[in-house]
Amino acid sequence: MTPPELALVVPCYNEAARLAPEAFLQFLATHPGVRLVMVDDGSVDATGDILERMREAAPDAVTTLRLTARRGKAEAVRAGILAGLDQRAALVGFFDADLSTPLRAVDDFMAVLRDHPTIEFVLGSRVMLMGRDVRRKATRHYLGRVFATAVSFALDLPVYDTQCGAKVLRANGSMATMFAEPFRSPWIFDVELIARYLRLPVAPGEPARRDRLYELVVPAWHDIPGSKLRWYDFARAVVELGYIWRERVTHRPRDGTTRNPGARR
């Protein structure tokens, strides 16, 4: 089987009521270079049956993985990315199952990596701009801005939005090390993923890791009813962010410095 240009992971937990298999299959019909990796995170509803029907409808374009018990979105994404790497995809990434970020945005992510050879990691960013259809609940938006400011401090990185569930990366050798171990921070694994990326070694003459990150403003993003996040998850996220900050300030790379190669000075 020819390796895909992009292996796109879609983590699913009890998504039977929100999953739109037709949208995924229509997308695949016009994107022969994309292979979906649908990960069932131990669902107890009909999610598994829906994913299996998708695989039967497009066996060359849909891979299904089933985790025997719920292990959380972070581990579902990690398992899917590892499967994508096994398929020798040129790019790997993940989108939320509810398609809060529409699949048409995949083309934009791939275009960034195609047009900018030094960029390795593209993060979707939800920004309410004219000409963009970004709809977020006010409470979540303002809590998100507070959290994003804290993340910028914790990572020493001027990132606007780490929690948009749409990200695409180049599948080179160093990327595999980012997913080798389970994430310590299941609620904000996106932040931990960026932190892991920033800690990757940089060869002499190569751009700093921070200069290979790219935030892409998504064309649309909608709050979809049925989110599994609760208000107390914000408190958990703050605690986990503290762990990530402590890891950054105490981490000692191989060159003996105390800061990652991409950090601002």
Q: Which residues of 151-178 are buried (b: 16+ CB within 10 A; e: fewer)?
A: beebbbbebbbbbbbbbbbbbeeebeeb
Render pLDDT for 23-79 as a digit per residue (tens, 0 to 9). 999 999 999 999 999 999 999 999 999 999 999 999 999 999 999 999 999 999 999
Q: Token match 């208000």: residue?
A: 231
Q: Given 52, 82, 99, which residue is the final one in a domain?
A: 99
Which pLDDT score is estimated for 145? 87
- Are 86 and 64 members of one domain? yes
Which secondary structure element, helix H or strand E, spans residue 141, and what is its range? helix 138-155
Would you say residue 168 lies in a domain? Answer: no
Which of 84, 99, 114 is at the close of a domain? 99
How many CB atoms are closer than 10 A to CB 225? 8
Pick the last residue of a domain from 81, 99, 117: 99
What does the alpha-carbon distance between residue 67 and residue 38 come to, in Å, rounded to a whole number? 11
CB 257 within 8 A of CB 138: no
Residue 133 and residue 239 in one domain: yes
Residue 74's pLDDT is 96
How big is the CA angle at 43 (ends 40 and 46), to the nearest 5 degrees? 95
Token pair in block for residue 49:
């049956």
Strands, E, within the chain: which ranges? 6-12, 34-41, 62-67, 91-95, 121-125, 133-135, 166-170, 213-217, 220-222
- The two tokens of residue 186 are 């299941």
Give the domain extent around 238.
Answer: 100-159+174-265
**Residue type (1 letter), 47:** T
pTM score of the predicted model: 0.89
Same domain, 57 and 110: no
Residues 6+ apart with CB under 8 A from 205: none
Match 């400011």 to its residue by tokens: 149
The pLDDT of residue 258 is 34
C-alpha to C-alpha distance for 74 and 231, rounded to whole angstroms: 19
Residue 155 shares a structural domain with residue 231: yes
Instruction: Assess if residue 165 is contained within a domain.
Output: no
Q: Using CB atoms within 10 A of its CB, is residue 194 exposed (0-12), middle (13-18) or buried (19+)?
A: buried
Antiparallel, parallel or unpaired: β 6-12 and 34-41: parallel
**How far apart are the C-alpha atoms of 253 and 126, rounded to whole Å?**
32
93/202 same-domain check = no
3-state secondary structure of 111: helix
**What is the CB neighbour count within 10 angstroms for residue 208?**
14
What's the token pair of residue 32?
A: 């022969």
- Number of structural domains (the chain) is 2
> Which parts of the chain have pLDDT scores under 70?
226-234, 251-265
- Same-domain check for residues 124 and 189: yes
Cα 114 from chain centre: 18
